Amino acid sequence: MTSRVVITGLGALTPLGKTVSESWSNLLRGKSGIRPISELPDAKDYESHCPASVGVANVTGFNPMDYGDLFTSQDLRRMSLFTQFAVVAAQEALKDANLLNTVDEYNNERFGCVIGSGIASIQDMYESILNFDRGKKLPPTFVPKILANMACGNVSIKFQLRGVSHCVSTACATGNNAIGDAYNFIRLGYNDVCLAGASEASVHPLSLSGFLRAKSITPDGISRPFDKERNGFVLGEGAGLMVLESLEHAQKRGARIYAEIEGYGLTSDAHHITSPSESGDGARRAMEMALKGHDPRQVDYVNAHATSTILGDRAELNAISNIFAPNRSIPLKLSSNKGAMGHLLGAAGAVESIFTIKSLQEGLVPHTLNLKRIGEAKGDNFGDLKALDFVTGSPVRHDLEYALSNSFGFGGINSSLLFRKWVS
């Protein structure tokens, strides 16, 4: 018999704040975490590669020394920035779940860790390659610092999690895939508890230049999910982690439960390495897989991937319309967090799933920043959108029972998670 899986702890470090509470509060306030590259401390490194109008969404003011004794001097020599982000988010999630420093009490050999990253440490790769080309020796920490699984490995060591140690790297679907894999590990009996999510420290001149060359980045620094004027995403970074437990384990220790995961879908477009098919076929199948056993009309809210690209938003909206519009009496609430915090690449789905859980818990749907004219870009043809309620202007109160969080990535990867509000 497979276990039911619930969420008991949340941790995040985002362009909107250094904790879940701060990030969530700023999202609801309509605050933007996006700023022009001219305001970055290392702005000069961007000047010759990127237009001054380009914006980024970075974690501002991050200093590992602000976290007391969480990091040793040896940690800081060995850990890349994306790993440091993950450790901070992990500590918050474990503390929130009342599991910090008590892991041994709950059999840490049954406590897993699933943390992914899309790019891992581009900063360390860049600096080491420059030094290598100049004839300098590579540091002994070079390889460990650039491996994508080092966030997971270091978090496991730091907090003594001796169950499954697993890394996911599926581009911008990474966060949701990590949570979905942890969900399955618990259902299959591999673990009783799992810390899961993703971390990304991707704001760098090299990565930004690469995405600009791929024509993925908006040149004006404004993220406009689903809007007529959408023309690319804003590069962001951060980390989001959550504690998943079997319902039996959570109830046995008297844990506070946020929500339950009731479905997970993952598919491939098998279409193009960066562009989805306009029909949104892969996204539709991922959502249908997550909804297995549920009527689409049960879902109250979709936290959309919606990166603010022409084709990506079009494909997702086509898929959502095909699934949720028919025979619907109450319009589906729909919004995207990326207007406020940019696109956190691999960490996007993990942070957005945390916001989705907060929406369920508080009965509040955050609005989409910069969304003024829906589906009017050249080539958009969505027909009747009356069954979809795009939340704009300000958050909306709504008693939510089910919510879906979508994440899609380069390579044609689609993932979707179905969460249900926990009522004790």
The strand pairing partners of 205, in sequence order, are: none
Q: Is the dihedral of CA 285, 289, 294, 299 positive or negative?
A: negative
Q: How far lies 216's CA from each of 49, 154, 351, in Å? A: 15, 32, 21
The strand pairing partners of 408, in sequence order, are: 414
3-state secondary structure (DSSP) of residue 207:
helix
In contact, 136 and 220? CB cutoff 8 Å: no
Taking the C-alpha atoms of residue 84 and residue 320, their distance in angstroms, rounded to an integer, is 36
Tokens standing for residue 86: 């993950």
Tell me the DSSP string of 134-184: TTPPPPTTHHHHH-TTHHHHHHHHHHT--S-EE----GGGHHHHHHHHHHH
CB atoms within 10 A of CB 17: 21
Give how far the C-alpha of residue 372 lies from the chain's centroid of Cα atoms, to the nearest Å: 24
Q: Catalytic: 167?
A: no
Taking the C-alpha atoms of residue 183 and residue 163, their distance in angstroms, rounded to an integer, is 14
Taking the C-alpha atoms of residue 150 and residue 158, their distance in angstroms, rounded to an integer, is 12
Under DSSP, the state recorded for 379 is T
CB atoms within 10 A of CB 162: 16
In contact, 165 and 153? CB cutoff 8 Å: yes
What does the longest C-alpha to C-alpha distance in the chain come to?
A: 68
Give how far the C-alpha of residue 294 lies from the chain's centroid of Cα atoms, to the nearest Å: 24
Please identify which of the residues 152, 167, 172, 194 carries the catalytic annotation: 172
The strand pairing partners of 48, in sequence order, are: none
Tokens 């599926």, located at residue: 170
Residues 6+ apart with CB under 8 A from 29: none
Under DSSP, the state recorded for 3 is P
In contact, 360 and 416? CB cutoff 8 Å: no
Tokens 């477009």, located at residue: 269
Catalytic site positions: 172
